Amino acid sequence: DQQVKQNSPSLSVQEGRISILNCDYTNSMFDYFLWYKKYPAEGPTFLISISSIKDKNEDGRFTVFLNKSAKHLSLHIVPSQPGDSAVYFCAAYNTNAGKSTFGDGTTLTVKP
């Protein structure tokens, strides 16, 4: 049973437009949600996170929205830039378990 799902394997967006990446989860025990960005042949790097008690967190061009009732979160990138092209992983953290569960990732391509 996959507890964190990213249903879109890929997304293509024009430079300057908004990129929206989605993530769904099933475990109500998750209390933090994180987005990581990964380039080929490199380890993921942390991008932005949100606590389960909030519904929005913003950091520059990146905003994460959390809909707890729907068990859904999304990452908005505005405006999208070619350098944003990468694989984006959604992760959900359970403090009691002390570990994160990752989705399968979404490959974002931003076209110039």
Nearer to other proteins, 60 or 112 (CB): 60
Reduced to 3 states (helix: H, G, I; strand: E, B; else coil), residue 1 is coil
Q: How many CA atoms lie within 13 A of 24 on its CB side?
A: 8
The helix (H) or strand (E) run that includes residue 45 is: strand 45-51
- DSSP 8-state code for residue 27: -
Query: From the CB of 109, what's the least distance to other proteins, in Å?
Result: 16
Under the criterion CB under 8 A, does residue 99 sit at the interface with other proteins?
Answer: yes
Query: From the CB of 16, what's the least distance to other proteins, in Å?
Result: 29
Selected from 21, 23, 34, 66, the binder of other proteins by CB under 8 A is 34
Under the criterion CB under 8 A, does residue 95 sit at the interface with other proteins?
Answer: yes
Which pair of structure tokens corresponds to residue 86? 């990468």
Nearer to other proteins, 59 or 67 (CB): 59
How many residues bind other proteins (CB under 8 A)? The answer is 23
Nearer to other proteins, 44 or 84 (CB): 44
Q: How many CB atoms lie within 10 A of CB 78?
A: 13
Burial of 9 (0-12, 13-18, 19+ CB in 10 A): exposed
Interface residues toward other proteins, by CB under 8 A: 6, 32, 34, 36, 41-46, 49, 89, 91, 93, 95, 98-105
